[in-house]
Amino acid sequence: MSIKQVSSNAEVDERLAALMTNANAIRAIASAVEGTIGPKGLDTMLVDKFGSVVITNAGVTILDLMEVNHPAAKMLINVAKAQQDEIGDGTTTATLMAGSLVASGVDQVVKGVPVAKVIDGMRIGIKTAIALFKNKEKIIFDLSDPLLKQVALIAGREHEDIADLVVQAAVLIGREKLLDQSFKLGNTISAAVGAENSVFLGAIVGKERLNRQMPQRVENARVLLIDDALEPEGIEDEALATEAGFARYLELRREFEDNIGKIISLGINVILTDRGIDDLAEEMLTDAGILAVERVAGKELRKVAEHTGARVLKRTGLKKEISELEKCIGVAQSVYEDEKLEQVLILQGRGKPMATIQVGAATEEVVGERERIAKDAAASVQAAVKGGVLPGGGAVELAAVQEVEHVRRQVGGMSAYGVECVVEALKKPFMQIVLNAGFNPLEKLGDVLAAQAEENSAALAVDCDNGTISDMFELGVVDPAPVKIYALQAAGEVAEAIMRIGTIIKMKADDNGEVKQGHDNYLG
C-alpha cells in the first residue's frame, strides 16, 4: 500500500471516529427521554449531589437538569431548549427524531455514502414531510372547540383540572391576544403550595405588603409603580461631613417628604417598587392607609403596568407636576394580599386583559412539576390557536413516511439514502409511544401503515389503552401543528450540524489554564 493510500485511510478513519463519537453522545441523550413519551410514558427522577429530587417526564426539564459534558450532546440539548422557547412543547419528539436522524446518517456514512449526499437527502425528506404536515393542519377558529381542550389535556399529561384552567384562561384572553407574537400564555401561570386552582383576570406579585399595619385589601385601587427605590437621593459620606453637604442632605430629605405627600394627595392607595422603601416613606404611607410592596421583580412590575395601564416611574419621576403624575397612575378594581400564599393579587385592571392561571399542589416536590405541566399545556393551546392541530400518537408522521418514501423512489443517486434517514426518524415517535404502552412496535407499525393506505387517512394510529388501530381525531389525540413542524425542523438542523463535524480538536488553554470561549475540554 502506498503512503498516499495510508494517509487517505487515516483521514477517513479520523472522520468516522469523530462522527461515531458524536453519534454515541446523541444516542445517549435521546435514550434519556425516550421512555417518557406518550400516555404510558414513565417519569424520570433526577437527583443532585445534595440529595434534592426532581420527578418529571417533561423532556426539556430532564435535558436541562441532567449532567452533560459532551459538546455534541450539549448541541442537542440547546436545540431542545430552542424548541421549548419558541413553541413551548415537543422537545422530546425533537430529541428522538434528531437521535434517529444522526444514527441512520452515521450508518449510511459507514456504508460509504458521502456525508454531503446524506445531508442533501435529509433536506429533501424533511421538506416533503413538513409540506404534508401543513397540508393536514386543522385550523381552530373557535376557542370553544373541544379539540382545544384535548390539546391541553394531552400536553398537560391527562391532568384534567389543569387542562380546564388553561382553556378557561385562553377564552378570557381571547384569540387576538393569543395570536400576538410577544405574548406567551405560559407566562400567566403561577403555582404555589396550598393554592386553590383558579383562573382570574389579574396579575400576581410574589411578595407581601410592607407591614401588617397597611391595609390587606384595597378597592378601586389607584396604582403607582416605581422601578427604583422609594428613598431620598443619596449623598456621598465625604460631602455629608461638611456643613454644605449636611444642608444638602436635609434639603433632599424635605424634597423626598414633599414627594411622598404628593403621592398621598393624588389618592394613590397602592405602591409597588422595584427596590426598598425608606423608613420615613413607610411611616407616611402606613399613616395614609396605602398598601405598599417593595422589591417586586421587574417582570412582575411590567405585568402589573400592562394590566392596570400604569406607567412605570423612576424615583426622580416623583418630581413631576401633579397633572403629569396623574397620567402615570394605573387603576384596578381590587388589590389584596393573600397572607397564606404570601402574595399580592391585582384584579380587573383597566389596561390590557390579563388572565392568570393559579395552580395549586399539596407539597413543594409536586408544585414544580404541576407548574411545568401547566406551562406545557398553555404553550400547546396557544400553538394550536396559531397554527392548527394535527392527529397525534405518531399518526401524521407515519402518513408522512409514505409520502417521503414516494419521493425517495424519485430521488436519483446517493441522496436517496439521506431521504431514507428521514423515513426512519418519522417512524421513531410512533414506535416509542407504542413500545412505552407495552405493545410490539414493529407489528403495530405494519398494521397502521397498511390501514392508513387502505383508508387514505393520516389520522390512524394505535389506541394505547387497548392496542387497536383508531382515528386519533375521534379519540381526541391531537397535537399542535407548529409543535410537529418545529420539532422536525430542529431535529434536521442538529443532525446536519453533527454530520458535518469531521474532526474534534482540543482547544488550547488561555493564560489562566481555562479553555478558550468556555468550550468543553473534550477530545473523542
Determine the Cα–Cα distance for residues 294 and 323; give it in Å rounded to an integer: 25
Decide which of 193 and 469 is more confident. Answer: 469
**How sure is the predictor about 516, in pLDDT bands with cuts at 50, 70 and 90?**
low
**How sure is the predictor about 522, in pLDDT bands with cuts at 50, 70 and 90?**
very low
**What was the pLDDT predicted at 519?**
43
**What was the pLDDT predicted at 22?**
78
Rounded to the nearest 5 degrees, what angle is found at the Cα of 71, between the Cα atoms of 67 and 73? Answer: 60
Phi, psi of 508, deg, nearest 5: -75, 150
Q: Is the pLDDT score of 262 beyond 70?
A: yes
**What was the pLDDT predicted at 509?**
66
Decide which of 21 and 216 is more confident. Answer: 216
DSSP 8-state class, residue 393: T
Tell me the CB-side half-sphere exposure of residue 21, using CA atoms within 13 A: 18
Q: Is the pLDDT score of 524 beyond 50?
A: no
Determine the Cα–Cα distance for residues 308 and 201; give it in Å rounded to an integer: 11
Q: How many helices (H) and strands (E) does the chain have?
A: 19, 14
Return the CA Rg of the chain: 29
CA proximity to 296, closest of 356, 364, 209: 209
**How sure is the predictor about 25, in pLDDT bands with cuts at 50, 70 and 90?**
confident
**What was the pLDDT predicted at 388?**
93
Name residue 460's beta-bridge partners: 471
Determine the Cα–Cα distance for residues 524 and 382; give it in Å rounded to an integer: 42
Of 74-88, 138-152, 366-380, the poorest mean pLDDT is in: 74-88
**395 to 113, 138, 211, 390, 416: CA distances (angstroms):** 30, 14, 57, 9, 24
**How sure is the predictor about 14, in pLDDT bands with cuts at 50, 70 and 90?**
low
**What was the pLDDT predicted at 523?**
34
Question: Is the Cβ–Cβ distance between 36 and 59 less than 8 Å?
Answer: yes
**What was the pLDDT predicted at 447?**
93
Q: Is the pLDDT score of 92 beyond 70?
A: yes
Determine the Cα–Cα distance for residues 439 and 468; give it in Å rounded to an integer: 10
Decide which of 190 and 428 is more confident. Answer: 428
Question: Is the Cβ–Cβ distance between 429 and 130 less than 8 Å?
Answer: no
Question: Is the Cβ–Cβ distance between 146 and 476 less than 8 Å?
Answer: yes
DSSP 8-state class, residue 138: B
CA proximity to 61, closest of 299, 358, 376: 376
Chain-centre distance of CA 142, in angstroms?
25
Question: Domain residue spans in the chain?
Answer: 3-138+390-518, 201-361
Determine the Cα–Cα distance for residues 227 and 272; give it in Å rounded to an integer: 8
**How sure is the predictor about 182, in pLDDT bands with cuts at 50, 70 and 90?**
confident
Domains 3-138+390-518 and 201-361 share a fold: no
**How sure is the predictor about 33, in pLDDT bands with cuts at 50, 70 and 90?**
confident
CA proximity to 285, closest of 302, 310, 265, 306: 265
**What was the pLDDT predicted at 503?**
66
Question: Is the Cβ–Cβ distance between 122 and 421 less than 8 Å?
Answer: yes
**What was the pLDDT predicted at 135?**
93
Decide which of 216 and 5 is more confident. Answer: 216
- Per-residue 3-state assignment (H helix, E strand, C coil) for 146-159: HHHHHHHHHHCCCC
Of 221-235, 238-252, 366-380, the poorest mean pLDDT is in: 238-252
Q: Is the pLDDT score of 9 beyond 60?
A: no
Compute how many other C-beta atoms are within 10 angstroms of the C-beta atom of residue 266: 15
Average pLDDT of the segment spanning 204-233: 93
**How sure is the predictor about 283, in pLDDT bands with cuts at 50, 70 and 90?**
very high
**What was the pLDDT predicted at 502?**
67
Q: Is the pLDDT score of 56 beyond 50?
A: yes
**How sure is the predictor about 296, in pLDDT bands with cuts at 50, 70 and 90?**
very high
Mean confidence (pLDDT) of the chain: 85
Average pLDDT of the segment spanning 469-478: 92
Average pLDDT of the segment spanning 294-319: 91
Do the bridges between strand 217-226 and strand 330-338 make them parallel or antiparallel, or are there none, so unpaired? antiparallel
Q: Is the pLDDT score of 219 beyond 90?
A: yes
Is domain 3-138+390-518 annotated with CATH 1.10.560.10? yes
Task: Give the three-state DSSP class for 177.
Answer: helix
Do the bridges between strand 460-462 and strand 469-471 make them parallel or antiparallel, or are there none, so unpaired? antiparallel
**What was the pLDDT predicted at 41?**
79
**How sure is the predictor about 514, in pLDDT bands with cuts at 50, 70 and 90?**
low
Q: How many percent of the chain have pLDDT more than 90?
A: 48
CA proximity to 108, closest of 417, 493, 401, 503: 417
**What was the pLDDT predicted at 433?**
92
User: Quick one: CATH architecture of 201-361?
Assistant: 3-Layer(bba) Sandwich (3.50)
CA proximity to 377, closest of 97, 175, 149, 211: 149
Chain-centre distance of CA 58, in angstroms?
11
**What was the pLDDT predicted at 3?**
37
**What was the pLDDT predicted at 481?**
93
**How sure is the predictor about 282, in pLDDT bands with cuts at 50, 70 and 90?**
very high
Name residue 471's beta-bridge partners: 460
**What was the pLDDT predicted at 494?**
87
**What was the pLDDT predicted at 273?**
94
Determine the Cα–Cα distance for residues 99 and 83; give it in Å rounded to an integer: 15
- Per-residue 3-state assignment (H helix, E strand, C coil) for 485-512: HHHHHHHHHHHHHHHCCCCCCCCCECCC
Q: Is the pLDDT score of 5 beyond 50?
A: no
Rounded to the nearest 5 degrees, what angle is found at the Cα of 101, between the Cα atoms of 100 and 104? Answer: 80
Q: Is the pLDDT score of 98 beyond 70?
A: yes
Q: How many percent of the chain have pLDDT more than 70?
A: 91
Question: Is the Cβ–Cβ distance between 353 and 183 less than 8 Å?
Answer: no
